Amino acid sequence: MIKPLIIANWKMNPQTLREAKKLLEVTKKAASKIRNISVVVAPPAVYLFPLAKDVRGNRIAFAAQDVYFETEGAHTGEISMRQVKDAGANHVLIGHSEVRARGETNDDTRKKMITALSAKLIPVLCVGEITRTNTGEYFNFVSEQLTTGFAGVSQTALTHVIVAYEPVWAIGGEETMSPREMHEMTIFIRKVIVGLYGAPGHKVKILYGGSANEENAAPMLRDGNVDGLLVGHVSVDTQRFSALLESLK
């Protein structure tokens, strides 16, 4: 397997830059002990510049948690792709379920994928069903998120695109998906992307997110057939996140 990619999604934490710097210090230290993984930190946007300016050239890269699809202009409260890129991000989360819950549509994610790629940012398209029933309807839901999200992405851009599958029911809590279930979903996601692009669809990295922790991380990477993890609440708990990285040694 290629070098696993671990994205730390700090969400709206911590509350001060001072704490954010401390958290980054510990994250950097923990990451430096593990060879063969890549760590990307997605802090709140206001911390991007002050954090990223000190770690250029380091093993840690940065992501923005959400960015607007317009490139400039009268969009109060929004941030552009070029702005986050200039602040030190090279990845951007697109379509996180918490952003979708505030009204983001599949079509918005499509536009953001296009603007991200033209700003030379790596988009991480987040997909995942809200609930699961045994009718298998969630496959259609995820397929639609992927098909619309990728609609403006060219085949040549695929090496720079990541998909993070995060079933909403597994986010932030105790309930998590089993690596076996993820294995099935990884195959499904791959099938959808290869259906859109043919063999080059294999270049897209697939991550798992949803209560990823120090116990399930290694089994998920090993048996879930994923290229990495998107970690939420555990990524702001220094002890647990260090243990998670350690478990991947």
**With respect to ligand PGA, which residue has the nearer C-beta, 112 or 201?**
112
User: Least distance to ligand PGA from the beta carbon of 168, Å?
Assistant: 9
Q: How many CB atoms lie within 10 A of CB 56?
A: 10
Task: For ligand PGA, give the closer residue by CB, 26 or 101.
Answer: 101
Catalytic residue among 91, 96, 160, 233: 96
Minimum CB separation of residue 172 from ligand PGA in Å reads 4
Closest CA to 236 of 41, 94, 58: 41
The residue at minimum Cβ distance from ligand PGA is: 232
Buried b or exposed e, range 87-100, using 16+ CB within 10 angstroms: bbbbbbbbbbbbbb
Write down the least CB distance from residue 82 to ligand PGA, Å.
Answer: 24
CA gap 173, 40 in Å, rounded: 22
91 is catalytic: no
HEC string of 65-105 equals: CCCCCCCCCCCCCCCCHHHHHHCCCCEEEECCHHHHCCCCC
Least distance in Å: CB of 56 to ligand PGA? 25
- What gap in Å lies between CA 213 and CA 190, rounded to an integer? 24
Task: Please answer whether residues 126 and 95 qualify as being in contact, where contact means their C-beta atoms are separated by less than 8 angstroms.
Answer: yes
Where do contacts with ligand PGA occur on this chain (CB under 6 A)? 9, 166, 171-172, 209-212, 230-234
Q: Tell me if residue 137 is catalytic.
A: no
Reported as type and span, the H/E element at residue 61 is: strand 60-64
Q: CB-wise, 121 or 126, nearer to ligand PGA?
A: 126
Of the pair 4, 210, the CB lying nearest ligand PGA is at: 210
Task: Please pick, among 104, 129, 166, 214, the residue that the annotation labels catalytic.
Answer: 166
Residues classed as catalytic: 96, 166
